[in-house]
Every structure is written in structure tokens, then in C-alpha cells.
């Protein structure tokens, strides 16, 4: 599954350089050029990691990171010329995962991105809750409105993955890779069968789903709440 990186810098050439290198390395890249747009992109795009400049217009990078940390443990790499010890301590206190100092090597940045993603891979909580759904990954139990619900092993893993990334749209192949480690196109439609079974277990009306939603032409997402 392609990991999505949000790159935030007010200098377009920096964003373009990082985007080109990370895309060549196999990542999907989305961009923002100021702090407030970065927060909007974070909400809309559900990235896997953020590369964040410190000095930004409208809202500085440290303030962006502080707001994100109120609701998310997404890994954040600060890209900055501010390399002093106090600056780093301020960032680590907020929850910055790593620093890359300007001027920087794109190759080093890619290595830091991969290292931070590996290091934070197990951060996903064991208990996932979305709306009336509560899923315990360790006990492999699902409750809907407090009532236990049975799912097959693959359907459970699929729902757990989607609940870990609420609001983010995935293709069938991405979902297949996430739950089976395979991307064979011949198995792609198997995801549809599992989605159908999951909907029968979790949706008030499986024919008009409010949780596991089809995004036509792309794939599926788990809505952040039944109101979506």
C-alpha cells in the first residue's frame, strides 16, 4: 500500500524537490504552503506522515504540530534551519518525531521518513472506536452499540485497518495489500465480498451504508461517524 506524505513548506521549490524525490521512492505526496492549509490537508487527506517546515505563514510549524498532537499521534518530521538545542527540545516536548536540518539532502530525508514510519508502525491503538463501533484488536472482538458481533478473520482485519484510518479512501488493491500482503488483481474483487459481509454486521441498513462507504471509481472508506 502506498504511504501518503504531507509536505508543508512555504517555499515551492522545497516542496517540489521533496515531492519529486519521495514520489520516485514510491510515496504519494500532498502539499501545503502555509500552516492553516496544512491543518486542512491533514483533516482531508489523512496522511501517514508529515514533513513540516518550522517557519510558515499564517501559523508556524510548531503551532501546527501542537494542534495535530491534540488528536493524532501521526509521525511528524520537522524540516527547519532552526537546529539549536532549545528549538529541538521545544519540538520534542510537543511530540515531533525527528528533525532534518536545512540545507538538507533529499536522500537523507527519505531515509528519515522510512525510519520514522518503521519506528511508529506499532502506534495504532489496540482499542478502536468509530461512532457505535468498538473494535479490540488484541482480543479480536467487535461490538456494535455494545453488542458483540462476529466477523471472519479477514473481514475483521479489513475493518480494523479501515477504522485505523477513518475518513481515508483506499482502493481495493490497497486494502488487499493491507490485510493479506498481496496485490494480485485477480483477488481484487474479493474485497467487495468482505465489504458486503461487514456491512451486514455493522450497518443499520446494509443497502444504505453510513459507516463503510463506497467512493465510486476509487474504492472504500470508513466514515468518521454515521452522520457522514
For residue 186, the 8-state DSSP code is G
| N-to-C CA span, the chain | 25
- List CB contacts of 45: < 8 A, sequence separation 6 or more: 4, 6, 30, 168
| pLDDT given at position 124 | 63
Round the average pLDDT of the chain to a whole number and report it. Answer: 85
Q: Per the omega criterion (within 30 degrees of 0), is the bond before 82 cis? A: no
- Identify the structural domains of the chain with CATH numbers, from first to last: 4-119 (3.40.50.2300), 127-222 (1.10.10.10)
Could you tell me the pLDDT band of residue 225, with boundaries at 50, 70 and 90? low
pLDDT tens per residue, range 61-85: 999 999 998 878 788 998 887 666 6
Among the residue ranges 36-45, 113-122, 130-139, 168-177, the one predicted with the least confidence is 113-122
| pLDDT given at position 174 | 83
- List CB contacts of 193: < 8 A, sequence separation 6 or more: none
3 state SS of 189: coil
Could you tell me the pLDDT band of residue 181, with boundaries at 50, 70 and 90? low
Whether pLDDT at 214 is above 80: yes
pLDDT tens per residue, range 82-126: 666 676 677 777 788 888 888 888 888 888 898 888 776 656 677
Amino acid at each position: 500500500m502506498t504511504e501518503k506524505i504531507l509536505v508543508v513548506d512555504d517555499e515551492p521549490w522545497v516542496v517540489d524537490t521533496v515531492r519529486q524525490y519521495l514520489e520516485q521512492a514510491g510515496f504519494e505526496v500532498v502539499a501545503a504552503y502555509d500552516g492553516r492549509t496544512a491543518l486542512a490537508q491533514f483533516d482531508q487527506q489523512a496522511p501517514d506522515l508529515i514533513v513540516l517546515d518550522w517557519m510558515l505563514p499564517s501559523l508556524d510549524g510548531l503551532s501546527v504540530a501542537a494542534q495535530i498532537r491534540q488528536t493524532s499521534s501521526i509521525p511528524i518530521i520537522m524540516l527547519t534551519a532552526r537546529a539549536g538545542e532549545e528549538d529541538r527540545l521545544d519540538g520534542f516536548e510537543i511530540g515531533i518525531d525527528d528533525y532534518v536540518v536545512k540545507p538538507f539532502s533529499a536522500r537523507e530525508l527519505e531515509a528519515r521518513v522510512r525510519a520514522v514510519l518503521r519506528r511508529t508502525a506499532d502506534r495504532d491503538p489496540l482499542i478502536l472506536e468509530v461512532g457505535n463501533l468498538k473494535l479490540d484488536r488484541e482480543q479480536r472482538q467487535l461490538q456494535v452499540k455494545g453488542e458483540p458481533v462476529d466477523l471472519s478473520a479477514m473481514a475483521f482485519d479489513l475493518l480494523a485497518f479501515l477504522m485505523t484510518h477513518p475518513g481515508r479512501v483506499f482502493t481495493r488493491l490497497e486494502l488487499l495489500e493491507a490485510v493479506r500482503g498481496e496485490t494480485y488483481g485477480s483477488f481484487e474483487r474479493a474485497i467487495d465480498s468482505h465489504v458486503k459481509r461487514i456491512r451486514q454486521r455493522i450497518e443499520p441498513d446494509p443497502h444504505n451504508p453510513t459507516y463503510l462507504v463506497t467512493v465510486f471509481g476509487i474504492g472504500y472508506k470508513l466514515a468518521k461517524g454515521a452522520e457522514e
